[in-house]
Structure 1
Amino acid sequence: MASKKMNVESFNLDHTKVKAPYVRVADRKEGINGDIIVKYDVRFSQPNKEHMDTMAIHSLEHLTAEHIRNHADYIVDFGPMGCQTGFYLTVINHDNYDEILTVLERTMEDVLEADEVPASNEKQCGWAAHHTLEGAKEVAQRFLSKRDEWHIVFAEEA
């Protein structure tokens, strides 16, 4: 059965063939002024087999959004996937995959050392009660434990 090509790159990805955790280039675009925008699929959990807890996702998003910018000035966004299996990392004018892996590694190490979730209060967050530092740390630790495999996207490559 041939499927129609979708507009969203990740909808064209065969999620039954990937092996999480991994980091892959999901999209690359050039703007009209020559800016290069790269979107990475940063997959923490195996699609359709496991997912992250929403409180852990929320806290990991806050922690990563804050700490990743200490390691790179080209970060545009780090946002969660609706399927709760990962995040999209968007960068501008930077296209070095190995450096992205290092930035993610250092950021996850920052998460493990954190003693609070940044901006997890009613003034700075739209759902301040919906956080778990320990949950975010557990997700980060599992991701880091497979650091040597982040470049392997498909099970057949393993």
Structure 2
Amino acid sequence: MKKMNVESFNLDHTKVAAPYVRLAGTKEGTHGDEIYKYDLRFTQPNKAFMKMDALHSIEHLMAENIRNHSDKIVDLSPMGCQTGFYLSVINHTDYDDILVILERTLQDVLLATEVPACNEVQCGWAANHSLQGAKDLANNMLTKKDEWHQVYKEEEH
């Protein structure tokens, strides 16, 4: 395949094993700051996806709560394919700490009683949310946290 400009377009999605958390890339700023982009894959590409109302709600919950666990968060963005999120952090190289931050954030989702900013003033599609769907996604991800470090399927012998 021709090398593409977008990192994830160069990833063989048939060889990965979701859920996982992988470092997808780094960028250095002009003043030496480094941005680390993580691929937080919740569902198996081309096999499963997050329903939009659940994805939308877990995005709100995670984007709001993850900042309570780290001041290094730049952004949390959903993937258009509805299989995961990109997490960008600044000047934070500790992969294991990223896993802890993600785990704490997903635990926050499980404890939530409402979706933050779920109204027409603060959200562009306020009618499209599912708190229970977000909790189901968080629970599924958390039950498989021991697998987060393994990105690729084990080779068959």
- 1:105 alignment partner in structure 2: 103
- 1:41 alignment partner in structure 2: 39
Amino acid at match of 2:32: G
* Residues 70-109 of structure 1: pairs in structure 2 closer than 5 A: 70-109=68-107
- 1:59 alignment partner in structure 2: 57
Distance 1:157 1:108, change over 3 A: farther
Q: Name the CA distance, whole Å, in 2 between partners of 1:49 and 1:148.
A: 21
Q: Compute the displacement of 1:87 (Å).
A: 0.3
Percent identity, aligned pairs only? 68
- 1:19 alignment partner in structure 2: 17
Q: Compute the displacement of 1:119 (Å).
A: 0.3
Q: Compute the displacement of 1:32 (Å).
A: 1.1
> Any runs of at least 4 consecutive aligned residues in structure 1 with deviations exceeding 4 A, and if so which?
none
- When the two structures are superposed, what TM-score results if normalisation uses the length of structure 1? 0.97
Q: Name the CA distance, whole Å, in 1 between partners of 2:26 and 2:102.
A: 19
RMSD of aligned residue pairs (Cα, Å): 1.1
Q: How many corresponding residue pairs?
A: 156
Q: Name the CA distance, whole Å, in 2 between partners of 1:51 and 1:157.
A: 24
Q: Name the CA distance, whole Å, in 2 between partners of 1:75 and 1:112.
A: 21
Q: Which runs of 5+ in 1 are unaligned?
A: none
Q: Compute the displacement of 1:91 (Å).
A: 0.5
Q: Compute the displacement of 1:30 (Å).
A: 0.8
For 1:95-128, what per-residue CA distance to the aligned partner results, in whole angstroms no more than 9, with x for missing partners?
Answer: 1100000000000000000000000011111111
Q: Name the CA distance, whole Å, in 1 between partners of 2:39 and 2:140.
A: 17
- 2:126 alignment partner in structure 1: 128
For 1:25-52, what per-residue CA distance to the aligned partner results, in whole angstroms no more than 9, with x for missing partners?
Answer: 0011111110100000000000000000
Paired residue secondary structure (1:155): coil
